[in-house]
Amino acid sequence: MKEAKKIALLTGGGDCSGLNAVIRAIVKSAILKYNYEVIGFKGGYHGLYTDDFVKMDLKTITGIFHQGGTILKMSNKDNLFKYKMTDESGKVVYKDVSDVAIANLKKHNIDALIIIGGDGTLTSARDFARKGINVVGIPKTIDNDVPATEITFGYRTALDHIMQSLDALHTTAYSHDRVMILEVMGRNAGWLALEGGIAGSADVILIPEIPYNINSVAQTIFDRYNRGSKFTIICVSEGAKPIGGDVTIKAIDKDSPDSVKLGGVGDLLAKQLEKIIKPVTGQDIRVTNLGYIQRGGVTNTFDRVLGTKYGSYAVDMIANQEFGRMVVIRNDRMDSVRIEEVVGSGQTGQTSTGGARIVNPHGDLVNAARDIGITFGE
């Protein structure tokens, strides 16, 4: 294969802190180490389809290191292998328009494409690799649940937001003798609620991996009240569910790779607990849904460094012609795996996953939380 001279990149899915650190590292490594030309497609796969791009040089990435989000913008609704369109009769149809994107890459003489994203974005990366595009993937999720890598950028910054929010809730919970519930992200994996809850001194942590009993949660509140701690802090993952029950669904978005949108478990908990708690202790229960605050803001030290490692290694992979693979960290060292090992080898155009990296209910972290009195509603 010929040596690369010009590369492109895009960011897809949801935003998170550290993306600009990755972009910065890619551009600087590509230009300073390998003398590559670089362009960035704007708005994820939509920009690749519409040929909306920007030339990336050292000036383009000046001053972005600390910024959350991505200067290239992004979208999680543009699967080019199953692209939503309207036909002549006005009917919504889905078509494979990937060849248009490939033609754009060829028009710009792109030798390799770096794709930064989660399950849906990387599934399309796999599919483009199957069609002969030299693809390198970089995993992106604040949930920290990618199975092949030890940690993803954006996770630690999100943890900082959770910890700071719990610190703030403590003061008002104590002042009013209230039960405070903080709902955080974490669709299938409870890392954010678990580590954020530990760092923020939560008394109860509810995660998808450990189904809860509402009466057990209430008992923890009673026990604290009876020993003089008349406030309780609960940190709950959006994917938490009761024993024998299911997750709380906020909405259905058929155009999104993750069509089922979770949310509202905090409000559900509050309604259930209020019926049990308030008649006995008189305590009010308040809910805060941290929402997209977890994804934004200034990128912390850890994620700036981690994003730099991911981005620079992706460029090295291009130089070494390691295509159809995704950057990972294993045993604290940079490495790569086949993208199919992460998202599965399913049918082209269909989002799939090799299985999330979830919390071990009997692992050291959960056991340490239990040792210091945190309960999981079992």
Question: Which residues have a catalytic role annotated?
Answer: 143
Contacts of 247 by beta carbon, 8 Å cutoff, 6+ apart: 208, 238, 239, 240, 241, 262, 265
| Helical residues (DSSP H) of 108-204, grouped into ranges | 119-130, 155-176, 191-199
Token digits for 247? 């997750």
Contact predicate 11/72, CB 8 Å:
yes
Contact predicate 207/198, CB 8 Å:
no
- Structure-derived torsion over alpha carbons of residues 135, 141, 145, 149, reported in degrees to the nearest 10: 40
Rounded Cα distance between 32 and 35, Å, is 6
Rounded Cα distance between 323 and 303, Å, is 25
Phi, psi of 84 (to 5 degrees): -75, 125
Contact predicate 335/168, CB 8 Å:
no
Could you tell me how many residues make up the chain? 378
Instruction: Tell me which amino acid residue 43 is.
Output: G
Token digits for 8? 């492109």
Write the Ramachandran bin of 111: left for phi over 0, alpha for psi from -120 to 50, otherwise beta. alpha
Residue 292's DSSP bridge partners are: none
